[in-house]
Each structure stands twice: as structure tokens, then as C-alpha cells.
Amino acid sequence: MLRVSASIKCFTAVLFLLAFLNTSLASGGKEGDLPGHVAAHIVHHASAGSAFNGHVSMQGIVADSIIIPLRQAGRLFLIEGKADGETGFFVFDTGASGLVLNRTYFRDHVTGGSDNSSGITGAVSKVDKITVDRLDIADLHYTSLAAGMTNLGHIENRKGMKILGLIGFQLLKDFEIVFDPQQNLLQLYRIDKVGNRLGGKKSSFPAEYTQKVDFIGNILFMKGTIGHKSIRFCLDTGAETNVIDNHLSKEVIQTLSLTRRSSLKGAGSNTNEVLFGIMNDFVLGDRVLTGMEAILANLDALEAAYGAKMEGMLGYSFLSRGVFCFNFVKKEIGIRFYKAGEL
């Protein structure tokens, strides 16, 4: 887990890497049983007061919605796009508030300073600040975007695909966003100043559960219940499994079926030990979700990076359970859970 906080004029960037998980079993499993890493991303986290730094247009588009196909690579969701002439894939990563690019393809860009980041494993990574002249995703076209740039070769090596970078909510927050993991698509709806879809129609998303959420630095925080305790989670489409803070009370920890030990390895040589298990008592409203994978780990560095209280992370193990609707203006998440036959 890598983190650095730096202030440049009125802009603050926080960069975070929750790196690889390598399995070291305590109960007879094999190495590789876990997803390759919890979250292969770096969080480019603007301060709450900073504005979107680029310009977006929908040239020639008159429809009130846009469909963006996703490509699934293991437990990550990829968006095809082009940045300054380079075509490839971006990880859809809501744990990253903005745009983070792979140094392999953008090393020739002029940098506007850099930071050294370090964190839970003691690893060090260089992150440069650059400007992208143009970014194209489906029918969306962005110009003059500030971005972080770092090495993302570990994602490319694991997925065997050309990874240009990571895209978070910041680039999409002016839309109501429907994320359907099973159908592998994002659907974006234009909204007005109060968050309603354009065309005079109310949202037609058939939510079975709705919750008011917090968006801090374009990162979504929501609440769930474990062991009758309210827990605050970061929702992260770049996290390949759920994470529970090991500082939580015994009542919460005892609801997990812990099965084996694993090592959390960063870009350097140091590793931290975590526990892997199954969540048995996660509740949203009146719905109990069981059988979700999770690791038990120290989230102090991640909480500091986000500058917000959090006690867990909801990733692929949670997101694979339904269709999600995000509305930044209304500060709301809606969920339609998959039925048994749909999974």
C-alpha cells in the first residue's frame, strides 16, 4: 500500500497502491487461490475543493445516454480508449478519483513535478504529474486533463493486455452511471442540476435498495452492517476482493470464516501478513449477503490516503452481486441484486 500527500498551489494529490496478494496457506490450499491482488490501482485524489481540470464534449451526440462496453479481465473491468494517440485499455477503478496513466506509454510527456510514495510495506514509487491533450472513451472526448503517471506494468503482466491507465469517477460524475458487471457495460445518462435524467423523465433504474452515500474526492463511501455494527466502506471497482479492517471489534471479526494466511506485497521487498476468509453476516437494509470473499488487513494507510474514515473496502466480491446506479448530484447509490439464475 503506497501513499504520498503533496500540496502544489491549491491542488492536493494523494497516490495509493494496494498491491499484490501472494497466498501462503494455513489450511491446505495452494498458492494462487487468491486473486492476484486486492486492488491494482493508484488513487489520484484531488482535494475536495478542486474543480475538474479538463474539458469534456460529446461531439455530434444528441442522445441522452451513452453506452460504454466493458471487457472483463479476471476480476477487473476494462474500458477501451485512446489517450494522445495511444490505443488500449483503462481499468475502471472507482478507487481512483481521476486519471492515472501507465509510464510505459506516456514517458515522453512533459512532467510538472513528481513525488515519491511510500506506505504500509515500506515500498517506494515515483509518480509524475502530466497533462493529457486528448482522451477518447466511446462518445466522450476530454481535452487538457491533468493525470498522474506511474508504472502499471504489473497489471499488464498479469492480464496480458495493453493497459494505458486507470479511470475513476471524476471523469464520469456529470452523468448518472449504471454499472452492470454481468452484462459488462456502463450506461451514462445525462442529468440536470438536481440529478434527474434529462428529457423530463425520472430515473427508471429498478433499485431494490437505495442508500445515501458520501462522495469525498470523487470516491464513494457507503455503509453496511456486520455483526449488528455499522461499517463504513469505500466502494472500489478496482479491488478484486473485499477488505475488512483488522482493527474492528471482536463482534465483527468473529462473523468472518478465516481460512488461511496471505502476504501483502508492495513494489518493494517488504510484505505484510493478512488473513483471508468469507464474510457471513453482511447486511444492506433487509438483505443479507453471504459467501463473499474478503481479506482482513490493516487499513490505516488507506484511510489516511483518502482523508476519510473507512473500515472496509467493497470490491469485486460485492459488485458481482448486482447492478449499480451512481448519482453524484443526489449522493445516492441504487442496487438491483441479481437473482439466483442470473449469477
Q: Mean per-residue pLDDT for 135-161? A: 91
Structure-model confidence comparison of residues 288 and 8, the more confident one: 288
pLDDT of residue 162: 96
Query: How far is 291 from 342, CA to CA, in rounded Å?
Result: 17
What integer pLDDT is reported at residue 201 of this predicted model?
Answer: 62
> What are the helix (H) ranges across 78-211?
103-106, 153-159
Quick check: 3 pLDDT over 50?
no
pLDDT score, position 29: 41
Average pLDDT on 293-314 reads 88
Asked if 2-175 and 214-342 have one fold, the answer is yes
Q: Smallest Cα–Cα separation from 262: which of 44, 20, 40, 49? A: 20
pLDDT at 155 (0 to 100): 86
CA-based radius of gyration for the chain: 19
Least confident of 1-15, 21-35, 247-261, 280-294: 1-15
Give the pLDDT band of residue 54 (cuts 50, 70, 90): low
If 0-12 CB within 10 Å is exposed, 13-18 middle and 19+ buried, where does residue 152 land? buried
Q: What is the mean pLDDT of residues 284-299?
A: 92
Going by pLDDT thresholds of 50, 70 and 90, the confidence category of residue 264 is: low
Domain 2-175 sits in CATH 3.40.50.150: no
CA distances from 246 to 18, 34, 169, 307 (A): 16, 18, 28, 19
Cell (9 digits) for 308 = 476519510
Contact assessment for residue 146 and residue 53, using Cβ atoms and an 8 Å cutoff = yes
Q: Over 90: is that where the pLDDT of 266 sits?
A: no
Domain ranges of the chain: 2-175, 214-342
How confident is the model at residue 295, as a pLDDT?
92
Smallest CA-to-CA distance from 132 within 97, 174, 94, 102 is with: 102
Q: Give mean pLDDT, residues 47-66.
A: 54
> Residue 66: its pLDDT value, please?
94
73: pLDDT strictly greater than 60: yes
**Residue 116 in this model has a pLDDT that exceeds 70:** no
Smallest CA-to-CA distance from 213 within 192, 235, 230 is with 235
**Mean pLDDT (the chain, rounded):** 80
Q: Is the pLDDT of residue 199 over 90?
A: no
Q: Is 185 helix (H, G, I), strand (E, B) or coil?
A: strand
Residue 5 clears pLDDT 60, i.e. is over it: no
State yes or no: pLDDT of 188 exceeds 90.
yes
Q: Are 94 and 238 in contact (CB under 8 A)?
A: yes
pLDDT at residue 21 in the model: 45
Residue type, 278: I
12-47 tens-digit pLDDT: 233 334 444 443 333 334 333 444 444 434 343 333
In the sheet where 175-180 sits, what is the strand order?
65-69, 185-190, 175-180, 322-327, 332-337, 209-212
Superfamily of 214-342 according to CATH: Acid Proteases (2.40.70.10)
Summarize the confidence of residues 3-14 as an average pLDDT. Answer: 30
Is the pLDDT reported for residue 176 higher than 80? yes
Residue-level pLDDT at 32 = 39
- Is the model's pLDDT at 342 over the cut of 60? no
Give the best-scoring range by mean pLDDT among 36-45, 50-59, 78-87. 78-87
Q: Residue 157 — very low, low, confident or very high, per pLDDT cuts 50/70/90?
A: confident
Residue 242's pLDDT is what? Answer: 94
